[in-house]
Structure 1
């Protein structure tokens, strides 16, 4: 079964202009970011690629934790994308996911170790990561801990 996603885009001129995209719930202005010589209006392809990889990763990780019956108190993510510019050629080099996974108390150290393994495995299980494979290095650097007991 195929799932079809559609996107509509409008662009208002040359390289340093702005545009707008709409795809389901995603509706935003777009342009080249200021650090790359653009107007910096709305979002841009670099942020959207990072956003696609990060949301796929965190959803995949949440599903894996749920299937493993690991109780999670909180799951947050910092993700970083690195774009190299050499001879005016822009190349997306890497994405690093840094999840902070706080497990509910009362679970074993073995559960903590399993949660960390899942946090690493989620990166290679994500559909977006698989689509980027061979082009962009994607990695995960998880921090997994137990919730602190209230005093």
Structure 2
């Protein structure tokens, strides 16, 4: 087994509603609490970053599975929605909904049932989805054309 280490440096110079920074090998950005949670809404925030991690893991996993199954596509795009409950100062990340749209190349209509299975399998196979399992519900609702 080979472990991969990912490093992140964070700086938070102030109190709750200040602005901090994070930096990884390929990402450097400001972070703060979103306006929806009574924060300044500058840069990104943990809610968006969790959604981004889940979405990128899912779409990459789905693309790899489609390719391995011989499914040719014109495009693969996706909208993902994170559902966060913020009640009485308590934040709960409830659900992530991935909505991939897959446009198959001509002659691939016979692969539609395979694509439908892979849409669900990719969600169950994605490393981030597995890490969230039992805490955050993750679903996929595909549009296949």
1:38 aligns with 2:42: no
TM-score using structure 1 length: 0.93
The equivalent residue for 1:61 is: 62
Matches within 5 A, 1:126-145: 126-145=126-145
Gaps of 5+ in 2: none
Q: C-alpha root-mean-square deviation of aligned residues, in Å?
A: 0.8
Cα deviation, residue 108, structure 1? 3.6
**Following the alignment from structure 2 to structure 1, what is the Cα–Cα distance between the partners of residues 62 and 77?**
11
**Following the alignment from structure 1 to structure 2, what is the Cα–Cα distance between the partners of residues 68 and 78?**
23
TM-score using structure 2 length: 0.97
**Following the alignment from structure 1 to structure 2, what is the Cα–Cα distance between the partners of residues 105 and 26?**
37
Runs of 4+ in 1 over 2 A off after TM superposition: none
Indicate the SS of the match to 1:97: strand
**Following the alignment from structure 1 to structure 2, what is the Cα–Cα distance between the partners of residues 120 and 26?**
29
What CA deviation, in whole Å up to 9, does each residue of 1:89-140 have, x standing for no partner? 000000000000000011243x011111101111010000000000000000
What CA deviation, in whole Å up to 9, does each residue of 1:50-74 have, x standing for no partner? 0000000000000000111110100
Indicate the SS of the match to 1:139: strand
Cα deviation, residue 17, structure 1? 0.3
Indicate the SS of the match to 1:106: coil
- 2:102 touches 2:142 (CA, 8 Å); kept in 1? yes
Indicate the SS of the match to 1:92: strand
Matches within 5 A, 1:2-151: 2-109=3-110, 111-145=111-145
Indicate the SS of the match to 1:85: strand
Indicate the SS of the match to 2:92: strand
